[in-house]
Structure 1
């Protein structure tokens, strides 16, 4: 019934009681029936309705008494009226108290409905007596559908332990917490964190259970996915044939932030302060290593590595400095090549890639991937040995082509020696020997003999088959030696050689004979390209600097140039444009230059000659202060 209906019927009942009290000769306390009207008004749950109904009943009771009796004597009607008023008053007070209690309970229920958790109350038999709004929304059953149902049957609850054991724990401590699985009305399975609280009556007897459920389905799914991801990562970490090192560089970050240098100046600062680099190596802590790296380093377990990277790097290792600069500059990756020091002292050549976390993330997560390139190094060494053999053969072939020039070079000092010797004999055969002139001619003989010896030494050095050397070289000296070897050959073909060398060129590091062979091959090829052509034949060799770290040499001829179709294959082994050529000269030249850290390229316009560009890095001794 609506509130308006309750008010109406409460008023009708009160008026009916008034009429009976006034019009009938009944001697009983008919006014007591006003209590029913007050109780009927209380069903509206409005405090004002209760007060108005009570006030109205009091007015009607007093009016009925005054209408039916006079006030001169107090008799039994007055007592019945007082009893009726007392009943109305007591009933009103009780109804108001009940209304206040009901209001408090309703407020508490509204608070429970505002909760983000599912909350319901069940009695000792498991029957649901309260079901909040979140439970309606999450599980799908309305309050009307849930009330009176067995909670376990409705939700098809799956417990982590026996139901009896959980109930015993609840009775023992008054509370229970655990993770359970429940099904919604639609059949979806939810994982919830359940918290139970035992309710007692005023005698301390258990009468019900308040259950609060927090939906953790997504959290559990995310946790399971994370666990699976970590397990998958661990399987890959352990099963990978590539060595993996997990490191903590947070201490390094702090040390780098405290340095006075930043950005481009950092490398120079670190190069001038090797003590800081050594200290930094000790700050890069190793957290874990996989079995592949353990095998690579000759360790039986990862326990040998839970220290720092200093144990894995050689004393003169420079790769850590480069990695330190990359880390300080915020790069995400850094690659390099170094030697890993085994626990038994042996060294393993490796390639490595370091993956850094972004600056905003945790610097604990630094991964180093290491690949053993021992077999590749061995194959590379074998290739270099084969290349050295081919280079030696090419030098022999080159000197074979230059045999006429060599003979002319040697014959010149020999002829001078013979001429000087004959002149000396003539000065001695005079009647009065001219000893001063004899001494002069003997000095000429010694000088020419030394010149011949130098020519032979230079040729033998060029022919010598020896391991590659890494010496600090002056490029001007190498150019002078190479041009001396080919000068006669070029002169025979009327080729003019112009050498333009900048002053004070920085030194380079490399093998003198190999670099000399590169220049000889380029000069000989240029001369042969112009052989038999009419007009002027000129080779221009220039040496200078490109930037602060690179030396550049160009060999430019005035020959016919190189055909566009031949340019892409010019440096391929066994490709040649000459009749009877081996096709190895330029291939060896490029490999040799690249082994020295440089580049060799060619540019040509048919009919306008060809230009070979050779670049070499300065030696490290020159680059570092």
Structure 2
């Protein structure tokens, strides 16, 4: 019935229906896409809300676990305080450890039963206005209620976040102290809600949502909430409102809530039902379009056949990049394509019908090319083609390669000769350049001031050797193998696996080590040549496929001599630096010696006076003499330390106790610090392992850093309570290596970015009278002990509060300790 109805329609009506059907299919397809989009939007929104709920629950669990861990640590500290295992100093030490280890813990206070503060400790980087004062701890109503609740319940109690217009919101925790079953006070811990959110919430959740913390009234305490999108409100109102989900933070309760916000994201993949619906509609559209195309194709089939044949021939002629030329049996040009005309510059009208000599033959080569044409037409074909020069219409020449083959028509008869022509000017030029490049490369290798040799593995053949190698070792592989053996760049056979599957039978070496080998270098001494050589090696595949080893040996004898000379000069510079440092400290040293000498003079004058008066007893005389001897020993110790410091000697690295080095440096450095009215505090960790160093050089580094810190504080004109230099020595592990870290921290103005970049350069100084060699020598001394030195500014917010110089030295190995 369908076919009968369709055949009964007129051609115009058939065309109309054929045009309307695809339009209907496209409209239906569009409606289906809109419905699918709406459905997917609803599904995606639901998935987003569910994902947000799971993420917020996970973040809340992380924060709850973090608070629980801090609560357990504080309960252990409260138990030790209640058992009197921890005194005030011990409390300060443990509180300082907790505060420095956990960023959210801002302060820790010990309050007794009379609500008097026994001890308090807070972080060094926390501004004073963000912490509760002692008056607030004693008088604040909320803290009083929290104190009474902890006392009545005898359990840790969290408080509602406290905040004022001047301070940041803080979360408080009071842990009761039990002393033999009685209430003995509380430990008050102050938590930064901002740091709790930052360090307690997983980073992937912070990156995905806008996470904030709010109190019970909905006030934002930490984090930044999202703001509605202005553009989205105008275009997509339902996407302008972000997804939100909040839940209380245990164990604080409803007074502290964790809230997450996130804008709607893009849609997911198409669901199955809509996918098949769209697929069916797409198939219908394609089928109708194909039917329309077939109907139209019947009408233009004859025209396409005619145009197709013509276009095909024209496309062949115009698209081929190779020049094509057809000759008849008499040698007349019967056809040329566009590429041939473009190569020669002659048009098709100028070439077709021409007999030899052709216009593109050079005048001097016409007789030669005519003989070659006769050979071609007589059936002599060159399989690889032949090369000739071709003249363009403008008179320029280019090299071309021609291939000739018989031209057979559709009946199998030869009607002429077909010639293809390719421009080989550029390939010839590249070939000549490669040849010249190879020649230049060979000349460069021969002129190198380094020995270069290549030899295959497992063979005594020398594949390549430059001039310098032949001068040093001759033309044999003995020198190559000697360099390889002394430099240790060949995999050792002792490391080979006993399994035959891991062995290369041809080379006799482990195949896995050969294939994974990389370039290496070593410095060796060749007695026969009397030279130090730097040997570099790498494996490569030779031109014949064999695995070979290339060895490059460079004469570094002058460099080694220069390095030794530089080491001697550095040693002299270190001695000069110590003398300069002591020269700058001369007035302070004189003042330090003046005190014991004055005391000795006073004791002696007093004894003389009392002896003359006859009022000096034997016990008083002995006491005065003992004090005189003590002051004389003190002056002698000062002089001894100075003589040991400035004495020039060869570097003598011995096992040394870190605490002894620090004590010597502090004793000398404190003299300069007292002159600048700067307090010195130092902390040396207990039970530090020994280091193998030159103690005098390390003392020089510490004294220089302390002296620079004191001068920086003096130049900054800091008040008396801020004039302090702190020296800390603690163990560290850097790159899986046990080291001892020395740090000197001052409270000066810090360093500019330009000074930090050039700080350790020779002859660079930030002081107008500085020589610029002190820090450069300090870094050289540290690096000579296999350590590293660095400097950085200390900040309180955006304000620079000082500078910290630190360096580390490796701990002595068991072998060094046994020596």
More strand by share: 2
TM-score (norm 1): 0.48
Q: Which has the larger radius of gyration?
A: 1
TM-score (norm 2): 0.38
